[in-house]
Amino acid sequence: MRKDVRILLVGEPKVGKTSLIMSLVSEEFPDDVPLRAEEITIPADVTPERVPTHIVDYSEAEQSDEQLYQEISKANVICIVYSVNNKKSIEKVTSHWIPLINDRTDKDSRVPLILVGNKSDLVEHSSMETILPIMNQYSDIETCVECSAKNLKNISELFYYAQKAVLHPTGPLYCPEEKEMKPSCIKSLTRIFKVSDLDNDGILNDKELNFFQRTCFNMPLAPQALEDVKNVVRKNMTDGVEDNGLTLKGFLFLHTLFIQRGRHETTWTVLRRFGYDDDLELHQEYLFPLLKIPADCTTELNHNAYLFLQSVFDKHDKDRDCALSPEEVKDLFKVFPYMPWGPDVNNTVCTNDQGWITYQGYLSQWTLTTYLDVQRCLEYLGYLGYSIICEQESQAAAITVTRNKRIDLQKKQTQRSVFRCNILGARGSGKTSFLQAFLGRNLLKQRKIREDHKSFYSINTTYVYGQEKYLLLHEVMPDFDFLSEEDLACDVVCLVYDVNNPRSFEYCAKVYKQYFMDSKTPCTMIASKSDLHEARQHYSLTPLDFCRKNKLHPPQPWTCNTVDAPNKDLYTKLTTMAMYPHMAQADLKSSTFWLRASVGATVFAVLGFAMYRAILKQR
């Protein structure tokens, strides 16, 4: 909403423009009227909308045409004043003033006009019969007010309507010629309806209507008032109320009715509460609230954010199979201006046998977005109405900014839940397969993935000492000569080589010596395709000797050429290395260390699965 309003009064000489302004300010008709009143500023605390209002007079005798044009360009609303007892001044409204104003304003952002019939005390009849055809001809005209500066009739109302035309304009909402709401308004209100429809049944029940009412107007509706609203809809349309709840058609009808009855402020209050600006676009401040992220800190979703996202999943998982079908995904994102997830998402997170994103995969994708691009996550949460549904100041309340990694190293413990592992290796070494295996896909399933649907990321949960953590794998393109800061910034590094390719290990050795030998980032070698014959590597040291020399783990044998889902123990080890980078290599090599971590993971996974099944039964 605008922070101030500028009202310009124009019209023929002697119609009473200056008298109207002076009568408003002094609350009495002036004995001596100057040629032009000075600009008046009415403070916010004495205006109905609590917005400072500037009132500007125009005098043909004192101002040039150029000065008039400047004032027109600065005005937020223009009052064209005519005298009800002067036919010539009425004719000038259409023959001179409206064309002049239209010539001086942009066609796509016309200034609202108010027709003001002054000197109503001098006649017994109304001028409305003459004015109505003019109002029907020009859609820029918001309303017409007949008033009298002499006896103070409708003076306050005049300036209230002028202010209202700026703060609650009809133009973006309604087309008077078609007598219906504009498509952009319908689109905005449809999103608001879907966000407010908490159970996604296509109907706003009494509980949802009261939440909506309290959210927008800070007070619930009494039961009888709710029934009265629904009865108004019932009387005017057959499909506006179903199962004693308000349908989308009924919701849109009510707002059409508000606008037609001059209660634009009701619809604008709703639109602005849900983040819309005067052009019916979502505010940048709404979508991207301020969030400070210091260096070496990461971003994660907090507990309340996960609960909200769970509720969003539940309301769109219509068949209760704990996965989102393509139709259910499409329905979930109807409140977005675009589809945020492409086909690569299905190869970034866990899916079921039909290739549909599971509940765990859904939460994983949100976790990934939050970690990699928190601004995008804030935007997405804004479309879903997080701050409104969760009654928070903004989406920033959903984000936890982790502490600096150096503090984690000093304290030898971390509070983070998401860890990044960058996967490096020569072409064909098995990096992509390593990512897909983390999602439970063996080589046979991986071969069915389309090339243009592949992802350079995968994310899933692992369990370390009974704690659920997210491990994010990122495949780095094999460009040895240039690795960006993003390629190097991670919690643990995987160097993958193909045991069957004699030239594969050399790349890993060079990358390690160039970038990671003096780094504090833990590294491990992955001996990929271990089901194949192990060729002698064309390098001065064998992979095992290289690891011993550089105090690394021995190369970890790995393959995804299995009948069942590939083993996930290696991913648990990577998460553990990311969580405890300060621990000596000897401790990490210790078999009892890995046994404790793995047993903890197995026990927690079994318990977690049982709890998950229990939650599913409740849902």
Structure tokens at 28: 């009495």
Provide the mean pLDDT of the chain: 90
| pLDDT tens per residue, range 499-526 | 999 999 999 999 999 999 988 899 999 9
Cα→Cα distances 359→438, 552, 618, Å: 16, 37, 15
Nearest to 394 by CA among 530, 312, 279, 285: 285
**Residue that finishes a domain, picked among 137, 167, 197:** 167
State the SS3 of 174-240: EECCCCEECHHHHHHHHHHHHHHCCCCCCEECHHHHHHHHHHHHCCCCCHHHHHHHHHHHHHHCCCC
| pLDDT tens per residue, range 581-610 | 876 444 544 544 444 555 554 444 444 444
CB within 8 Å of 313: residues ≥ 6 apart? 324, 332, 359, 362, 363
| 161 and 23 fall within a common domain | yes
Task: Check whether 137 has a pLDDT greater than 50.
Answer: yes
| 311 and 415 fall within a common domain | no
| Domain with 372 in it | 290-337+351-389
CB pairs under 8 A, 24+ apart, for 547-556?
A: 550/512, 550/517, 551/585, 552/523, 552/524, 552/525, 552/585, 553/524, 553/525, 553/585, 553/588, 553/589, 554/525, 555/497, 555/525, 555/526, 555/527, 556/524, 556/525, 556/526, 556/527
346 is a domain residue: no
Integer Cα distance of 478 and 475 in angstroms: 9
Q: Concatenated DSSP letters for 439-496?
A: TT--HHHHTTS-GGG--SEEEEEEEETTEEEEEEEEEPP--TT---HHHH-SSEEEEE
Q: Concatenated DSSP letters for 383-419?
A: HHTHHHHTT-SSGGGGEEEPPPHHHHHHHT-----EE
333 is a domain residue: yes
**In the prediction, which pLDDT does 488 show?**
84
DSSP type of residue 44:
G
| 213 and 317 fall within a common domain | no
401 is a domain residue: no
Q: Angle at Cα 271 formed by Cα 223 and Cα 250, nearest 5°?
A: 50
**In the prediction, which pLDDT does 596 show?**
52
Integer Cα distance of 171 and 149 in angstroms: 29
| 9 and 153 fall within a common domain | yes
Integer Cα distance of 587 and 594 in angstroms: 9
Q: Coil, helix or strand for 521?
A: coil
| pLDDT tens per residue, range 352-367 | 999 999 999 999 999 9
Cα→Cα distances 435→60, 498, 525, 560, 608, Å: 76, 15, 15, 10, 23
Task: Check whether 263 has a pLDDT greater than 70.
Answer: yes
Strands (E) in 256-398, as ranges, are 299-301, 323-324, 357-358
Task: Check whether 552 has a pLDDT greater than 90.
Answer: yes
300 band by pLDDT with thresholds 50, 70 and 90: very high
Integer Cα distance of 234 and 223 in angstroms: 16
398 is a domain residue: no
Task: Please name the residue that has the structure tokens 């991913």.
Answer: 571
Nearest to 494 by CA among 548, 573, 407, 416: 573
| 462 and 429 fall within a common domain | yes
Integer Cα distance of 388 and 382 in angstroms: 9
CA–chain centroid gap for 501, Å, is 47
Integer Cα distance of 5 and 319 in angstroms: 52
List the CATH number of the domain containing 259.
1.10.238.10
State the SS3 of 139-180: CCEEEEEECECCCCECHHHHHHHHHHHHHCCCCCCEECCCCE
| 572 and 604 fall within a common domain | no
- The H-assigned helical ranges of 323-373 are 326-332, 359-372
Nearest to 402 by CA among 374, 366, 378: 374
| 146 and 196 fall within a common domain | no
| 327 and 472 fall within a common domain | no
Integer Cα distance of 610 and 376 in angstroms: 34
| pLDDT tens per residue, range 205-240 | 999 999 999 999 999 889 999 999 999 999 999 999
Integer Cα distance of 450 and 427 in angstroms: 18
Q: Assign residue 385 a region (left: φ > 0; alpha: ψ between -120 and 50; beta: otherwise).
A: left
For 476, how many CA atoms within 13 A lie in the half-sphere containing its CB?
A: 27
Contact 270, 280 (CB under 8 A): no
List the CATH number of the domain containing 117.
3.40.50.300
Other CB atoms within 10 Å distance of the CB of residue 160: 16
569 is a domain residue: yes
Structure tokens at 404: 């600096």
| 568 and 467 fall within a common domain | yes
Domain count for the chain, please give it: 5
For 453, how many CA atoms within 13 A lie in the half-sphere containing its CB?
A: 14
Contact 406, 394 (CB under 8 A): no
Q: Angle at Cα 163 formed by Cα 157 and Cα 168, nearest 5°?
A: 115
| 559 and 474 fall within a common domain | yes
| pLDDT tens per residue, range 423-435 | 999 999 999 999 9
Integer Cα distance of 72 and 8 in angstroms: 7
480 is a domain residue: yes
Contact 156, 20 (CB under 8 A): no
| 98 and 144 fall within a common domain | yes
Total length of the chain = 619
| pLDDT tens per residue, range 271-294 | 999 999 989 999 999 999 999 999
Q: Coil, helix or strand for 246?
A: strand
399 is a domain residue: no
Give percent of the chain with pLDDT exceeding 70: 93
Q: In what helix (H) or strand (E) does residue 9 lie, and over which residues does it extend?
A: strand 5-11
Q: Concatenated DSSP letters for 545-581?
A: HHHHHTT-PPPEEE----SSSPP-HHHHHHHHHHH-T
The most confident of the ranges 373-382, 404-413, 486-495 is 373-382
Task: Check whether 40 has a pLDDT greater than 70.
Answer: yes
CB within 8 Å of 202: residues ≥ 6 apart? 242, 247, 248
Structure tokens at 101: 């104003």
| 476 and 500 fall within a common domain | yes
402 is a domain residue: no
**In the prediction, which pLDDT does 480 show?**
59
Integer Cα distance of 597 and 605 in angstroms: 12
